[in-house]
Amino acid sequence: MIVFLIAAGLAAGILGVAVPAVAAPRAPVTLFAAASVEGPARLIARSFESARYDLSVIVRSEASSRLANDILGGGPVPDLFLSADGANVDRLVAAGFADPGTRVDLLANEIVVVGAAGVDADAAAESGGARASPATIAPLASLADLAGPTVRGVALCDSLVPLGGYARALLRAAGVWDAVAARAVLATDARAALAAVETGAAEYAIVYATQAENAKRVRVVWRAAPGAGPAVRYVLVLMRRSARRSDAIALRDFLVSDHAARVFARYGFRPLLPGPPHADSSGAR
């Protein structure tokens, strides 16, 4: 092989043929993203890689609080962080990990209550036959219905993850937190909360609207009037200690591009930015 390459190079020189240089791939850009936005984040990352053949993206997706805790606890530091709330970004800024000048509110979401939707014919066919499922739940007139004496259980995420915090704020504002807390079925994340409803372990669950809309065996039974629920904002920020600042800025600009906005919208998110911000490399460490 070595002899062949040398011979090829000599032949190209003799014939005056230019040998194109092959750019070596650079180290990958790392994006930590909230679990609830994993689907579109990975799809956008693949599109970015297709557009920038010399760059690859590693996406790690988990609850925003767990990702932030790992960073603060001495774990790997990503190049970008996409959190399901602003509080975890605040923690990273305060500790000197995140660059506050690059912080943007990227997406909006909603909090909804879901109940079982049973098994329809299509779902049964896909799974090879209908499985046992709780009966379809009727819509709620208000959140006060969750405090009714016949409600068996409401699946809630842990208060340490953003979804759990949003749900508790919603219930406290409605004045039903104490009653719902007494029958709460605690879940580690939204997937577990949805599974609790699907299996009948809980009658209701409070989750993100985007996850409810993409689930097959639950239906939304309550959603807040426009502007009445908690403001769910996904915050994107660059990390100060990124060794690939220019590449991280390129990915950040792609995440706020029109193409990315369309992908996020297909998953039910509401993009909040009209276009990419000016690339600013100030604050690099």
Please indicate, yes or no, whether residues 206 and 260 belong to a single structural domain of this protein.
no
Same domain flag for 139 and 47: no
pLDDT at 156: 96
Distance CA 263, CA 167 (A): 26
Please give the pLDDT value at position 126: 52
- pLDDT tens for the chain, 285 residues long, are 444 444 444 444 544 545 445 555 578 999 999 999 999 999 999 999 999 878 899 999 999 999 999 999 999 999 999 999 999 999 999 999 999 999 999 999 999 999 998 654 344 445 444 444 556 678 899 999 999 888 989 999 998 899 999 999 999 999 999 999 999 999 988 889 999 999 999 999 999 999 998 888 899 999 988 778 889 999 999 999 888 899 999 999 999 999 999 999 999 999 998 754 444 433 333
pLDDT at 32: 98
Q: What is the CATH number of the domain that holds 141?
A: 3.40.190.10
Residues 196 and 247 in one domain: no
Residue holding tokens 């909360």? Answer: 193
In a domain, 16, yes or no: no
Q: Last residue of a domain, which of 187, 203, 223?
A: 223
Q: How far apart are CA 202 and CA 36, in angstroms?
A: 21
Are 212 and 131 in a shared domain?
A: yes
Quote the CA–CA distance of 209 and 110 in Å, as a whole number: 5
Q: Please state, in angstroms and rounded to a whole number, the distance separating the CA atoms of residues 92 and 83.
A: 11
Among candidate residues 223, 239, 260, the one where a domain is terminated = 223
Residues 104 and 236 in one domain: yes
Q: Which domain holds residue 59?
A: 26-108+231-271
Return the amino acid letter for 79: D
Residue 279 domain-assigned (yes or no): no
Residue 200: Cβ-neighbour burial (10 angstroms; 0-12, 13-18, 19+):
middle
Number of domains in the chain: 2
pLDDT at 249: 95
Domain-embedded: residue 17: no
**Would you give the end-to-end CA distance of the chain in angstroms?**
42
Q: Are residues 80 and 134 in the same domain?
A: no
Closest C-alpha among 58, 96, 104 to residue 79 = 58
For residue 134, tell me if it sits in a domain.
Answer: yes
My answer on whether 104 and 117 are in the same domain is: no
Is there a domain that residue 13 lies in?
A: no
Q: Both 103 and 118 in a single domain?
A: no
Q: Is 20 within the bounds of a domain? A: no
Please check whether residue 61 lies inside any domain of the structure: yes
Do 120 and 195 have their domain in common? Answer: yes
Could you tell me if residue 102 is inside a domain? Answer: yes
Q: Domain boundary at 184, 201, 223, which?
A: 223
The answer on 63 and 99 residing in a single domain is yes
Q: Which residue has the tokens 């639950």?
A: 218
Q: What is the signed CA dihedral for 175, 177, 183, 187, rounded to 10 degrees? A: 140
237 and 138 both lie in a single domain: no
Same-domain check for residues 192 and 209: yes
